[in-house]
């Protein structure tokens, strides 16, 4: 099994404006996703939601430190899962089930690099 990162990109405004009553549905959707990973024969290595991009501190060029996200974009990296899957096709099958409730949200799948080999 190989490891793949599922990166969740969404408009952070969705979460800034979500009602307290709607929040449990978001949590339930992610809990269901975790169950589906195992049902598909994969496993979950880890995962976390990230604080809003406004809390980011970026370092550019190795020296310049600024408040805020590194890039200006409508969608931001809001969370990540790392899963073990048989291959990329299996990881994509799993990632298609990942909830991205914010309108226009989506996910990106990337292999996790084996530090003993150069992936480039």
Judged against a pLDDT cut of 90, whether residue 14 lies above it is answered with no
Judged against a pLDDT cut of 90, whether residue 115 lies above it is answered with no
Superfamily in which the 2-111 domain is placed by CATH? Dimeric alpha+beta barrel (3.30.70.1060)
| Per-residue pLDDT tens over the stretch 46-105 | 999 998 888 888 787 777 776 655 555 667 888 999 999 999 999 999 999 998 766 678
What average pLDDT does the structure give for the chain? Answer: 87
pLDDT confidence of residue 71: 56
pLDDT confidence of residue 7: 94
- 12 contacts: CB under 8 Å, gap ≥ 6: 52, 53, 54, 76, 78, 102
pLDDT confidence of residue 31: 94
Domain boundaries of the chain, sorted by first residue: 2-111
Which of 84, 75, 71, 73 lies closest to 6 in space, CA to CA? 84
Structure tokens at 71: 């890039």
Mean pLDDT on 27-47: 95
pLDDT confidence of residue 75: 77
């Amino acid at each position: 099994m190989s490891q793949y990162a599922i990166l969740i990109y969404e408009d952070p405004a969705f979460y800034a404006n979500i009602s307290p009553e709607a929040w449990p549905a978001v949590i339930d959707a992610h809990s269901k996703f975790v169950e589906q990973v195992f049902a598909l024969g994969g496993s979950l290595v880890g995962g976390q939601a990230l604080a809003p991009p406004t809390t980011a501190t970026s370092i550019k060029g190795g020296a310049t430190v600024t408040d805020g996200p590194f890039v200006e974009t409508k969608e931001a990296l809001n969370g990540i899962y790392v899963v073990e899957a048989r291959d990329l096709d299996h990881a994509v099958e799993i990632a298609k089930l990942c909830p991205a409730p914010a309108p226009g949200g989506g996910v990106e799948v990337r292999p996790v690099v084996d530090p003993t080999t150069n992936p480039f």
